[in-house]
Amino acid sequence: MRPIYAAEAAGELAARTFGAIARRQILELGLGASRIRDWKRVGRLHPTRYRGVYAWGRPDLPEKGGLAAGLLYAGRGSALDGLSALWWQGLLEHRPERINIASPRRASSCADLRILHPLRIERHVHEDLPVVDLARSLLVASAELEHNSLRLVLARADYDKDIPFSLRSLQEAIRRGPEGSRALRAAMAAHLPQLARCTSPLEIDFVLLCEANGIPIPEPNVRKGRFVPDMTWEEARLIVELDGRDAHTSEAQRATDASRQKWLESLGYTVIRFSWGEVHFREAWVAGRVRALLAR
């Protein structure tokens, strides 16, 4: 293949995987090891941390390209697994330190890759990258997630209609008791759908505070006209607004809060506010105040 056409073909392959390309892909184009050496010498191919995988045209890869490079290293049929699959689907906020990949090949863990070798891999594509089915990723991740974190993931998966998931299918997946099923079964038994509508860690902590103190669970972020209060008990006409550590400090913010509260109270709601510190360090007082207002 003439150099100009060879580069064009390899570039098209790399574009499909967001700048990453494997040595085996180049060889499958009918190009030899000498062409790879030439391209490395002139800066067309740049080694990555994964043996046999290169970045095309520039040494740095975008985030999606870095993940694709790990999948290329793991081999055909691979998919993001465990925490990595949950994070990529938006069910966890923070990217895991190690990329978990399920692979049907003999690839070994290296660098920041943890390669797993399940007997069967069922996968689908999410945001252009393959991920394992949700039941498997939850079972793998259950060893690294705390109980409430696992409940939060379950709630988000149940809430997100773009993710193929149902509690019934998950129950079937853990029926035979695979590793991780005990933690997952406990999370399912304490399923709390309201967690999925929380938009901040403080809101999650407040919902869990209510649960721990036997308070009816509020509905997070239900729109009222042009406003979206943090927590609402509709039947009791009670709203709780939560102030983060660095929120509502300027005069303009306080004026907006006052206007918002006045409008909500004009609809017949009682509106109270709790700060981050009160939720975390005065739990009994917060719970008592909410309980008294609900009883009223």
pLDDT tens, the chain, 296 aa long: 566 688 999 999 999 999 999 999 999 999 999 999 999 999 999 999 999 999 999 999 999 999 999 999 999 999 999 999 999 999 999 999 999 999 999 999 999 999 999 999 999 999 999 999 999 999 999 999 999 999 999 999 999 888 877 777 788 878 777 777 899 999 999 999 999 999 999 999 999 999 999 999 999 999 998 899 999 999 999 999 999 876 656 677 777 788 888 999 999 999 999 999 999 999 999 999 999 999 98
CA distance 33 to 237: 72
CB 217 within 8 Å of CB 211: yes
**Computed from CA positions of residues 256, 257, 259, 264, in that sequence, does the dihedral angle turn out positive or negative?**
positive
**What is the model's pLDDT at position 1?**
59
The 10 Å CB-count burial string (b at 16+, else e) for 144-160 is: ebeebbbbbbbbbbbee
**What is the model's pLDDT at position 103?**
97
CA distance 87 to 138: 11
**What is the model's pLDDT at position 270?**
96
**What is the model's pLDDT at position 175?**
78
Q: What is the 3-state secondary structure (H, E, C) of the chain?
A: CCHHHHHHHHHHHHHHCCCEEEHHHHHHCCCCHHHHHHHHHHCCEEECCCCCEEEECCCCCCHHHHHHHHHHHHCCCCEECHHHHHHHCCCCCCCCCCEEEECCCCCCCECCEEEECCCCCCEEEECCEEEECHHHHHHHHCCCCCHHHHHHHHHHHHHCCCCCCCHHHHHHHCCCCCCCHHHHHHHHHCCCHHHHHCCCHHHHHHHHHHHHCCCCCCEECCCECCECCCEEECCCCEEEEEECCCCCCCHHHHHHHHHHHHHHHHCCCEEEEEEHHHHHHCHHHHHHHHHHHHHC
Q: How far, in Å, are 25, 85, 87, 153 from residue 193 at the CA level? A: 45, 21, 19, 10
**What is the model's pLDDT at position 133?**
92
**What is the model's pLDDT at position 6?**
86
Structure tokens at 176: 């035979």
**What is the model's pLDDT at position 172?**
80
CA distance 248 to 254: 6
**What is the model's pLDDT at position 163?**
83
**What is the model's pLDDT at position 173?**
78
**What is the model's pLDDT at position 10?**
94
